[in-house]
Amino acid sequence: MLSPKVKEEISKRIQFYLQTIKDFELPDGEISFILHIDGNQSEAWTNIRNMSERDVPPPEILIQNFTKD
């Protein structure tokens, strides 16, 4: 539904906004979230979650995924 670039931009903005709230129930630093967006058709939807280094697999795992039969 949305391009990866648009999802990343939305994720960064939400993360920034959440970090400015300074609520005692929110952790310091990175805040995990998932945003679900429904489109105008039942099959049009997307999930956006926070982007972090822990979500990016090491390069060797990416290579293995592309080379599997």
- CA dist 34 and 22 (Å) reads 19
The pLDDT tens digits for 36-53 are 999 999 889 999 988 765
Q: What is the pLDDT of residues 6-42, one digit of tens each?
A: 998 999 999 999 999 989 999 988 888 999 999 999 8
Query: How far is it, in rounded angstroms, from Cα 35 to Cα 50?
Result: 9
Asked if residues 48 and 11 have their Cβ atoms less than 8 Å apart, the reply is: yes
Tally the C-alpha atoms within 13 A of residue 48's C-alpha that lie toward its C-beta.
18
- pTM of the entire predicted model: 0.68
- DSSP code of residue 55: G
